[in-house]
Chains A and B, each alone.
Chain A
Amino acid sequence: MALGHNHPDGIDATHAHAHADVWLSDVSAGYGQRVALEHVTLAVEPGSLLAVVGPNGAGKSTMLKLMAGLLTPWTGRIEILGQPAGREARRVAYVPQAELVDWAFPVTVEDVVMMGRFPRLGRIRRPGADDRRAVQSALAEVGMARHLRTQVGRLSGGQRRRVFLARALAAEPDLFLLDEPVTGIDPTTQELLMDLLEAQAERGKTVVATTHDLACAAARFHQVLAVNRTVVAYGPSNLVLDADVLARAYGGHLLVLDGRTVVLDDAHHHDEAAPGERHFHDHDGGR
């Protein structure tokens, strides 16, 4: 294991560039005048199952939006699947936070999952038998095949999450970008979603998900990226999720119990000075 302190042109960026699915080099970005992330350098290998963790306002969602090409960085370079962000959009599935979706919208479960097929259809073509089959099998994978014709607003929080993951699966992407996919859902659904994401990673697809749930990040993700306006730590989850790193990512407001880390108070600490960057390298590329 090598610890690299504060080297923006570090090993990750240059060496991993050629075969990384997600590559950011000294990226800074924000909204209006407000800085959300600065000096982010990062390379995510194909087949990664990466959790992005950090306190509220640390820039987790911004990181995902940059990768999805939804936000243009102020400075720095981003390459996704070997192309500038946004170019390979059809090979990327992005799932927004559940709170950002209007659940009263008149669409059924089938309609929502079918949206995952739209990019493949192009402009004129209507969904055909192939697409309906892909929608069916994606819904079967998440255990929602029975709810094909239910309006999405009638679903529980966990069911809604499953439907959105089904939409991502139906798109058959090479890169999954998921904003808080396991927040506020029951443990059974969480296990199911994580099993599915792990299976995708094993097939060589890259999964990047933000989460507040450090226990889930430790137990189910292979890599963890801790952010707090910049990269605090990045590497295999067992190495990143130690009390020392987390204390710096979360500004010291942590309670550690029996090796399990519990966040006590994660709000209002993102304005503190950006902590030093720490990269963990694991040459097996995961666990």
Chain B
Amino acid sequence: MDLLLDPLGFSFFLRALVASTLVGAACAIVGTYVVLRGVAFIGDAIAHAGFPGIVVAYLLGWPLYVGATIAAVGTALAIGVVTRKAGIRQDTAIGVLFAGTFALGVFLFSGISGYVADLFSFLFGNVLAIGPGDLVALVGLGLAVIVVVALLWKELLYATFDPLGAAASGIKVERLELLFLTLVAITIVVSLQAVGIILVVAMLVTPAATAQLLTVRFTRLMLVAAAIGIISAVVGLYISYWLDVASGATIVLVQTALFVIAVFVGPHGLIAQRRYPVLRLAEDELDDAHAKGSAA
């Protein structure tokens, strides 16, 4: 018990706990749409594009979050506009943007003399080093993302599943797409200090991918993904504290472990498919019986 309670005596651990819980939830919620749209690589590109923004902010003496936000949101909107207008395949355009922006960050970074711990923590993340001021910004942005999704989940769902049907029914799909990319960018910025540029895509994708193995209902999928995001953030943070290892990497490893478990033992996982090939049919009948029952 002391193992769990002791770290809570440290304010830096409490801050890290609040931050990583919120990051875990926000990433999983936005990540549900990222996974269903199949745009994980856009998340990766936006994260890498944040790096030059951070370095420039450092050189100018601005808050690093401001630089990251401007660069990430700018890139997200550029992706949204360029892929619609230019005659280039989306993955090609993003591949160019991804490497180019990150190279710019490394170029500027390598010009700074000496070791810069602040900047380094944005590459790999160090949620235990998060300060009180950063925490306020992070909680504000993270909650804003969750509130926007809570307000627009219907429209986002419809536009993701059937963009033509959604647009024809009056949903402004193009505007929603830009808003969605902005949400992804803000979520990534919020997550950078916790898990870093290189691993943030895992926070977006892995919880929703795991949830997809456990349920076939959209709303349940999003809730399960959020739960996985929160649980793995808390568990990962404790493990990283006990073992004195990198927090971001530990959180991502916990998520990956949960994913692997779900691949094997989930209701749609490998073991269920091999052992009980009739399970799917049986479930359908149960569904039907349930539907009949609730209709009566």
Contact = CB atoms under 8 A, between A and B. Distances in A.
Interface in B137-173: 151-152, 154-155, 157-158, 160-162, 164-171
Nearest to A114: B154
Interface in A138-189: 145-151, 154, 167, 171, 177
A65 B162 CA distance: 14
A106 B160 CA distance: 11
Contacts of A171: 169
A70 B215 contact: no
B292 interface: yes
B288 A105 contact: no
B96 interface: no
B170 A70 contact: no
Interface stretch (A119-127, A227-235, A269-277): A119-127
Contacts of B165: 94-96, 115, 167
Contact of B287 (A93, A119, A147): A147
A96 B60 CA distance: 51
B38 to A, nearest CB: 9
Contact of B218 (A94, A107, A154): A107
B288 to A, nearest CB: 5
Contacts of A90: 169-170
Contact of A118 (B158, B160, B164, B216): B158
B193 interface: no
B291 A121 contact: no
B36 interface: yes
A107 B291 contact: no
A25 to B, nearest CB: 21
Contact of B161 (A92, A102, A116, A151): A102
Nearest to A124: B151
A123 B291 CA distance: 28
Contacts of B166: 115
Taking each of A100, A116, A145, A149, which has the highest tally of chain B beta carbons within 10 Å of its own beta carbon? A149
Size range of the interface on A? Answer: 35 or more
B291 A149 contact: yes
B175 interface: no
A89 interface: yes
Interface string A55-81: 000000000010011100000000000
A88 B161 CA distance: 22
Interface in B204-246: 212, 215-218, 221
Interface residues of B, number: 33
A118 B218 contact: no
Contacts of A167: 165
A115 B158 contact: yes
B169 A70 contact: no
A92 B166 CA distance: 11
A89 B168 contact: yes
A150 B287 contact: yes
A100 to B, nearest CB: 7
Interface string A96-108: 1000111001111
Nearest to B212: A106
Contacts of B221: 106
B2 interface: no
Taking each of B165, B166, B287, B295, which has the highest tally of chain A beta carbons within 10 Å of its own beta carbon? B165
A151 B155 contact: no
A82 B152 CA distance: 30
Given A94-B165, A111-B217, 18 more contacts: A68-B167, A69-B168, A90-B170, A94-B168, A105-B161, A106-B36, A107-B216, A107-B217, A107-B218, A115-B158, A118-B158, A136-B295, A145-B295, A147-B288, A149-B287, A150-B287, A151-B217, A154-B284
23 contacts: A68-B164, A70-B168, A94-B165, A94-B169, A95-B165, A101-B161, A105-B36, A106-B216, A108-B216, A112-B161, A115-B157, A116-B169, A118-B169, A121-B154, A123-B155, A146-B288, A148-B287, A148-B290, A148-B295, A149-B291, A151-B216, A167-B165, A171-B169
Interface of B: 36, 151-152, 154-155, 157-158, 160-162, 164-171, 212, 215-218, 221, 280, 284, 287-288, 290-292, 294-295
A-B pairs with lowest CB-CB distance, top 5: A89-B170, A94-B168, A151-B216, A68-B168, A148-B291
